[in-house]
Amino acid sequence: MKQYSFYQYALTKRNENSEVGELADLIFQDLSFPKFTNDYHTLSDYLETEAMFTKPMSVFDDLFDSYEEWLKF
């Protein structure tokens, strides 16, 4: 199993031409983003309350789901 944080995984999506890519770019630009946690609730709470995130939370859910799948391989 891989040992990468959600933040590290999100950065691999920055160049995608999609809402996920836009979210990844916002995460990269946010200096306060919790970079060392993999906890879904911590990350989603941060995006809902602290970040300048205007996309539907389903975009985060999709990115987090793909992160969890990616960790398995």
Over residues 22-50, the pLDDT tens digits come to 999 999 999 999 999 999 999 999 999 98
What are the sequence ranges of the domains in the chain? 6-72
Angle, vertex CA 64, rays to CA 18 and CA 43, nearest 5: 110
The architecture of the domain spanning 6-72 is: Orthogonal Bundle (1.10)
Read off the pLDDT of each residue in 57-62 and give the average, rounded to a whole number.
96
User: What single DSSP character describes residue 50?
Assistant: T
**Is the distance from CB of 64 to CB of 24 less than 8 angstroms?**
no
Question: How much is the pTM?
Answer: 0.91
Query: How many whole angstroms separate alpha carbon 11 and alpha carbon 67?
Result: 11
pLDDT, residue 50, reads 87
CA atoms of 26 and 10, how far apart (whole Å): 10
Q: Copy the structure tokens of residue 53.
A: 């995130």
